[in-house]
Structure 1
Amino acid sequence: MSRIVLVTGGARSGKSAVAEERTLRLGSPAVYIATAEAHDAEMAERIAAHRARRGPQWQTVAAPLDLPGALAATEGAPRLVDCLTLWLSNLMLAGRDTAQARQALAAALGAARSPVVLVTNEVGWGIVPDNPLGRRFRDEAGLLGQRVAAIADEVCLVACGLPLMLKG
């Protein structure tokens, strides 16, 4: 059984649905570790839609900044982290050290005893951002994805709702 699974893809590619299904195959009930924060009405609606789609077989844990801590606190059940790129943006906006956060996440994943499925966005396939923060985010997201993919037992790319196994 794969212990660490990374699901990646573009925006609205279907990666969250693929990751949810993959997590539930590992066991139910499962833990949904949510990194999103509802700073506006539109994001609150997105979060509500995700919750409604998931249903009662999920326990939700909010972890906008302390993802390694949330992973440690939820050992025992399969966990789904959705998503790494929102976590990264939270860290950057909070002025946190992203290299240290990557290292802490890698350590937490290495110590995990129960399965973890992680969702991330592929952000480097589009245009080059026109500002330094956007370029830094794109670069940091790429580094984060590479670090987690190196640790993962499985890596799945989702495009148009279709999963393509890259590793495992």
Structure 2
Amino acid sequence: MAITLITGGARSGKSLYAEKLALGGASGSPVYIATAQPPEAWGDSEMSARIASHQARRDTRWRNYEEPLDLTGILQKTDGEGARLVDCLTLWLANLMEAERDWRQEGRNLADCLKNQTSAVVLVTNEVGLGIVPDNALARRFCDSAGALNQMIASAADEVYLMVSGLPLKVK
């Protein structure tokens, strides 16, 4: 059993690599846990297209769950069913912040939950702090929060990969 965190920039190959790891994981069918809100909630054709692209890439071996907020609950529910892929922590954080939930406590709960899983978990997140400091308070707060959440989960993970141009670099 392994907890693996995959981070990197947008379109760096994180999700594709995570899918490969989950498919090669423990016995059972792989489980895909999407944290994005359903496409109709976005009202954004570009985001809807991204979601559709991810869905089209997965075949019938995958069992899919959509869980924008209760990530700990869905991990506990699906433990033992096969390797789980969580895509992604960054959207989960945005959902928590929008719902005005305590993301720090939720992050600690997730880190604790991960330590008790019996099946592999692969988590995808975005490395949002590699660019310039955002020019507004909300974006800075999100960037800072994402960095703190990523550190929490990286600490709980057995392995951490940074994706660069489709190539995984093992950092832990």
TM over 0.5: yes
Larger strand proportion of the pair: 1
Shift of 1:62: 0.7
- 1:65 matched to 2:69: yes
- 1:122 matched to 2:127: yes
Query: Structure 1 stretch 103-112 or stretch 82-91: which is displaced more?
Result: 103-112
- 1:34 matched to 2:34: yes
Q: Summarize deviations over 1:4-53 as a string: whole Å, max 9, x none.
A: 00001000000100111011110452000000112123222211110110
TM-score (norm 2): 0.93
Q: 2:154 is matched with which residue? A: 149
| Structure 2 counterpart of 1:105, one-letter code | L
Shift of 1:103: 1.1
Q: 1:94 is matched with which residue? A: 99
Shift of 1:114: 0.7
Aligned residues: 166
* Percent of matched pairs sharing the same residue: 57
Which whole-Å CA distance do the structure 2 matches of 1:47 and 1:57 have between them? 18
Q: Summarize deviations over 1:80-131 as a string: whole Å, max 9, x none.
A: 0000000000100111111111111112111211110000000000111111
The CA RMSD measured in Å over matched residues stands at: 1.0
> Deviation above 4 Å: which 4+ runs of structure 1?
none
Which of 84, 90, 102 in structure 2 is aligned with 1:85?
90
Shift of 1:158: 0.4
Which whole-Å CA distance do the structure 2 matches of 1:45 and 1:104 have between them? 32
Q: 2:143 is matched with which residue? A: 138
TM-score (norm 1): 0.95
Query: Where do 5+ consecutive residues of structure 2 fail to align?
Result: none
